[in-house]
Amino acid sequence: MARVKIKDIAEKAGVSKTAVSFAFNNPDHLSEETVKHILSIAEEMGYTPDPVARNLITGKTGAIGLLVPQPIPEIIRNPFTPELIEGIGEVCTLEGLSLLLVPPLKGSMQRAIGNAAVDGFLTLGLAESTSTMVVLRQRGVPFVTVDSAPIEGIPAVNVDDEGGARLAMQAVLAAGHRQIAILAIRSGKQGHYREYVGTLRNRMNGYLAALAQHGLKLDGRKVRLVECVSTENGAEAGLEDVLQSGNSPTAIVPMRDLLTLGPLHTAQQAGLRVAAELVLLAFADHPLTYLLTLRLPTVAPPLHQH
């Protein structure tokens, strides 16, 4: 059966091809009665608009791209991402828009930006100095940065990472802890935390500010920095190294939610009573902690705040 075309609908409806196009793409240009008539004929004839052709006509895709810095399987393992997508999705639903995840394409963020059929981007964890930012500007569509250092002239949505980290460390110190291990996200800086950027830098600044108020610093003895692969297994291995050093901490401060459950398991395996012998403070409130009978003290960002 031949595919129904706009001209076929126009002939049967007794209108021009332009009117049919308006009915689907710019209905405000026609009377309500005319739009209903054309759409009724189109439905009767089994017509389905070609989305590619429609995009060419309107110059719009009806989709927003969420540009993520890692492959989809990896980024989805971070509990922060599904919650973020849920919040973005609520707004997209209200506005009648689709949401497209845009991961690196064959390892290239720049290639992904060029190939994404979207009307604009939300970018997750993007730094101003990257070539990705240059390509985004060249693409010429609106974009908003999320969880990134503010960039002049670019709209941004950020959590107060420094303030949250400061609160977390202050809570640990106020409870009297002075043997503390900070579980940081391994970023290739090999312990040179002053070279951290973005979220890592902001959270580390918060920790250091709280420590300084009590006359403490990262000295490798009382307060230690342990860089971990950003997975539960990575955090588990990091805490195992700390416990085997013979100088066990009384408090663990993970830099992100994904580094919480691994240390909890390791501590329990070592026979430590979490909350009694070892305090573990959760950052960002990992959803799986709600399955535990143990309630962990938590600092959590407001991902759904309107």
The stretches of 1-108 forming alpha helices (DSSP H) are: 6-13, 17-25, 32-44, 51-58, 72-76, 80-95
CA distances, 175 to each of 225, 251, 254, 271 (Å): 20, 10, 17, 22
Q: Tell me if 280 sits within 8 A of 296, measured CB to CB.
A: yes
pLDDT in the model for residue 149: 74
Q: Is the pLDDT of residue 227 over 90?
A: no
- So what's the pLDDT on residue 275? 45
Least confident segment among 173-187, 192-206, 209-223, 271-285: 271-285
Where b means 16+ CB within 10 Å and e means fewer, 211-227 reads: beeeebebeeeebbbbb
* Mean pLDDT, range 51-76, rounded to an integer: 77
Rounded to 5 degrees, φ, ψ at 22 are: -60, -40
| pLDDT band (50, 70, 90) for residue 101 | very high
Closest CA to 266 of 286, 249, 287: 249
Of residues 215 and 158, the one with the higher pLDDT is 215
* pTM over cut 0.85: no
Task: Please report the pLDDT score of residue 290 as a whole number.
Answer: 40
Q: How far apart are CA 288 and CA 260, in angstroms?
A: 10
pLDDT of 22-36, one tens digit each?
887 778 888 888 988
Give the contacts of 29 (CB within 8 A, at least 6 positions apart).
Answer: 22
Give pLDDT, residue 54.
59
Specify the residue for token string 């209905």: 27
- Give the three-class secondary structure for 298: strand
